[in-house]
Amino acid sequence: MVYRGPYKIRVEEKDIPRIEHPNDAIVRVTTGAICGSDLHLYHGMMPDTRVGMTFGHEFVGVVHEVGSSVQNLAVGDRVMVPFNVYCGSCYFCSRGLYSNCHNVNPNATAVGGIYGYSHTCGGYDGGQAEFVRVPFADVGPSKIPDWMDEEDAVLLTDALPTGYFGAQLGDIVEGDTVVVFGAGPVGLFAAKSAWLMGAGRVIVIDHLEYRLEKARTFAHAETYNFVEYDDIVGHLKKATDYLGADVVIDAVGAEADGNFVQHVTGTKLKLQGGSPVALNWAIDAVRKGGTVSVVGAYGPIFSAVKFGDAVNKGLTLRMNQCPVKRQWPRLFEHIRNGYLKPSDIVTHRIPLEHISEGYHMFSAKLDECIKPLIISTPA
Amino acid sequence: MADIATPYTAGKPALKESSEALRARIPGWGVDLDPADRPSFPREQPGIETGAHWDFPERQREEWPRERSIEHAFLTPVFGTSTPPKGASGAIRKYAYARFSEGRAAHWLLLIAADRVDAWEQHLRSLATTRPDNPVTETGILSEPARHGLRSRFGSKRADVNHQWIDPILVGGPWVVAGLGAAAAIRTLSRGLQSRAGARK
């Protein structure tokens, strides 16, 4: 697929990517996904999103070609590729901060590399395609274990690790009350992960009833539709006996609904780095001394965040893009043990040639869409 | 004491459900109970094994002057090569990168402005090709009936319906304005030609 400007994409023939560095691999994509954060690109919110770019940072496939210095992969290997492009050797990578790599993104120092996520994230074409260039093939990708389903594997490239990471950032201790804003894929996985970390109560907030239903059945969560309350923060205070939640996770990010002015200025007019409605609600709904974890994606420009409340409440604010591969060994265990089944949230499987319809459906939240996968045509 | 809410006294609120009950009800409850035994703890793990077999990566070849943030000491050894900058949008982008750090709003606002210019440049360029942009197919809007557009939007309470009407204006509005502008230009031109022809008679 290629981006043709805000709200417009189409399928085009492009040259198969070539090896540009000795540690590159070229991967033939078999399954990809559209991430909620792809919608920020699709809506034209992320600076330096160029017409002609191919999106997609969640994909798995088969190694088609390897560069001269690649040691860990061979042609024909089935691989899962973390959304992070990272070198493994810079100051940040060598400490495990893979999402903050300093060697892969010339366009910005404030963010690492991400496949198919604008030039702000390095200018790499992504995996909503038949083929994709994968830099640092000895560092990022892993062979998909034989026992793992392909659809579980593709959800391990971003959505599941990001949700699980969001719960970790909350520093949850046994018995904590955890509120998750957003019942999309990341929010559902964050809610589910909060239980693994010993939460005593997990509450999910959204405005889409079908997603809240999924939060109840898939993530065993208590749910509230914020549209049904005049003031969702006031309601959450009452629901927590006026204390507030111990931990709040923002799994919404830049396109939050719930405040018309914030939404229009942030997402339609691009006057903010995003609409920080969920983040502001998180700051207000958490208890004093509590923790707000942010894994929703925001753009790099300023947003109207209620920072004074965060200071005055003595909050801990924790956030980052997820260093995906650090999560994999534990998540593999949890999937094997039956604690997590990521593909349970997949609602649609769309052929690559129909991807513009897939984006529209996901963007407009039609047909009870939660997670659309993109099925590439076999080469 | 029972009617005094939690934060006004020292006690913690009673759990709605005991840990034992949660463990019985929710598969895997508490398997990651120990915060020190979670994958991202501690946040920084010096010396973590990454698979890298270099101290500094070999440098990728720079095939055109690659724009970069002035907060970088040099061009990073590896970079994306999708869609090199070109045209007026490319000039704006190069200027934004060369002139302003990431700490300046001008940097990002210029890049967003360049994105809008880029879209128009590419739309106009596409009109001179065998495959011009088609806003109907490219927006995916034809999927509305099959994906239950009306029922999805109006079957339940949704907060986003109050602004979705703006999307067609954002997408289609510039095309309508451009079309009206082109029609006005053609009309003006033809009137000019007619009056010139009339003057000759």
Mean pLDDT of A248-273: 90
Mean pLDDT of A8-26: 97
Task: Tell me which of A9, A26, A84, A109 to substitute to probe the interface with B (most B C-beta atoms closer than 10 Å).
Answer: A109
Question: Mind telling me how many Å the CA of B172 is from chain A's nearest CA?
Answer: 10
Question: Mind telling me how many Å the CA of A150 is from chain B's nearest CA?
Answer: 23
Count chain A–chain B contacts defined by CB atoms under 8 A.
321
Peptide bond into B42 cis (omega under 30): yes
Q: Answer yes or no: is pLDDT of B2 > 60.
A: no
Q: Answer yes or no: is pLDDT of B174 > 90.
A: no
Residue A11 has what pLDDT? 97
Chain B residues near residue A210 by CB distance under 8 angstroms:
156
B163–A264 CB contact, under 8 Å: yes
Residue A376 has what pLDDT? 86
Chain B, 75 to 94: residues with Cβ < 8 Å from chain A are 75-83, 85, 89, 93
B45/A contact by beta carbon, under 8 A: yes
Residue B13 has what pLDDT? 87
B45–A96 CB contact, under 8 Å: yes
Q: Answer yes or no: is pLDDT of A379 > 70.
A: no
Q: Answer yes or no: is pLDDT of A273 > 80.
A: yes
Is the separation of the CB atoms in A126 and A73 below 8 Å?
no
Question: Mind telling me how many Å the CA of B123 is from chain A's nearest CA?
Answer: 8
Helix (H) or strand (E) holding A2: strand A2-3
Residue range A165-185, pLDDT digits in tens: 999 999 999 999 999 999 999
Residue range A135-160, pLDDT digits in tens: 999 999 999 999 999 999 999 999 99
Helix (H) or strand (E) holding A25: strand A25-33
Mean pLDDT of B148-163: 89
A361–B35 CB contact, under 8 Å: no
Residue type for position A134: V
Residue A226 has what pLDDT? 97
B140–A356 CB contact, under 8 Å: yes
Q: Answer yes or no: is pLDDT of B1 > 60.
A: no
Task: Indicate the SS3 state at residue A280.
Answer: helix
Chain B residues near residue A174 by CB distance under 8 angstroms:
19, 30, 33
Residue range B20-49, pLDDT digits in tens: 999 999 999 999 999 999 999 999 999 999
Task: Tell me which of B72, B79, B170 to substitute to probe the interface with A (most A C-beta atoms closer than 10 Å).
Answer: B79
B123/A contact by beta carbon, under 8 A: yes
> Residues with Cβ < 8 Å from B139, sequence gap 6 or more?
A7, A8, A356, A360, B171
B1/A contact by beta carbon, under 8 A: no
Chain A nearest-CA residue for B157:
A227
Query: Which of A257, A58, A120 is closest to B71 using CA atoms?
Result: A120
B149–A366 CB contact, under 8 Å: yes
Least confident residue range of A118-122, A242-246, A267-271, A319-323: A267-271
Residue B163 has what pLDDT? 87
Chain A nearest-CA residue for B126:
A4
Mean pLDDT of the residues in chain B: 93
With cut-offs at 50, 70 and 90, classify the pLDDT of residue A377.
Answer: low
Q: Answer yes or no: is pLDDT of B200 > 80.
A: no
Residue A269 has what pLDDT? 86
Distance CA B51, CA B27 (A): 33
Residue A251 sits at φ, ψ, to 5 deg, of: -110, 30
Question: Mind telling me how many Å the CA of A344 is from chain B's nearest CA?
Answer: 15
A44–B149 CB contact, under 8 Å: no
Task: Tell me which of B17, B18, B143 to substitute to probe the interface with A (most A C-beta atoms closer than 10 Å).
Answer: B143
Mean pLDDT of the residues in chain A: 97
Residue A73 has what pLDDT? 98
Residue B49 has what pLDDT? 97
With cut-offs at 50, 70 and 90, classify the pLDDT of residue B195.
Answer: confident
Question: Mind telling me how many Å the CA of B7 is from chain A's nearest CA?
Answer: 5
Residue B38 has what pLDDT? 98
Q: In whole angstroms, how far apart are CA A67 and each of A77, B32, B87, B120? A: 14, 39, 33, 38
With cut-offs at 50, 70 and 90, classify the pLDDT of residue B151.
Answer: very high
With cut-offs at 50, 70 and 90, classify the pLDDT of residue A378.
Answer: low
DSSP string covering A233-262: HHHHHHHTTTS-EEEEEE---TB--S-HHH
Residue B169 has what pLDDT? 85
Is B30 exposed, middle or buried (CB count within 10 Å of its CB: 0-12, 13-18, 19+)?
middle
Tell whether pTM > 0.90: yes
B111/A contact by beta carbon, under 8 A: yes
> Considering chain A, what percentage of its residues have pLDDT values greater than 90?
94
Residue A49 has what pLDDT? 98
